[in-house]
Amino acid sequence: MEIEREIKQKKFLNEYIKLDINIMFTASYLGSFKTEILRPYNISWQQFNILRILKGHHPSPASIKSLTGRMVDKTSNTSRLVDKLFQKNLVDRCINPQDRRKADVFITSKGIDLIDECSGVLESQLTEKISNLTEDEATTANLLLNKLRD
């Protein structure tokens, strides 16, 4: 559906403003979609992102700073998210022996099991949702979004 109809706006100042609103609207739309998929697993999209990063580091730890740098949503409060994952026994943390001001964060076996289970579901449902684009169109969209950030 066209963005004009989605947000009930007839005209935009220009195509660049329209693109900005379209990107923000679509990101919110996909974010809500991912939230619904992850709801049965009792984790948020941002928590999922941290678990996926930690699984990629496994068995090595990651610092809070490195997690923040790799997260998709840079505005997330990484420390708070790690605390929530710790309370769910999905991650463990300990003081870094070289720098006591830093915490090392590890994914637990329970966290690995959860990320393995929900990754497949999330990836297949997202692929299905976005598959109204051809693979070539998805490639073009990725190239254009990368160019936008340059």
CA distance 73 to 49: 9
Assigned domain for 52 exists: yes
Beta carbons of 89 and 128 less than 8 angstroms apart: no
What domain range is 54 assigned to?
42-121
Domain count, the chain: 1
CATH number for the domain including 69? 1.10.10.10
Assigned domain for 142 exists: no
pLDDT in tens, the chain (150 residues): 798 888 889 899 999 999 999 999 999 999 999 999 999 999 999 999 999 999 999 999 999 989 999 998 877 799 999 999 999 999 999 887 787 778 899 999 999 999 999 999 999 999 999 999 999 999 999 999 999 999
Assigned domain for 5 exists: no
115: number of Cβ within 10 Å: 25
Assigned domain for 19 exists: no
pTM: 0.86
Assigned domain for 48 exists: yes
Assigned domain for 133 exists: no
Assigned domain for 66 exists: yes
CA distance 101 to 98: 9
Assigned domain for 149 exists: no
- Kind plus residue range of the DSSP H or E element containing 103: strand 103-107
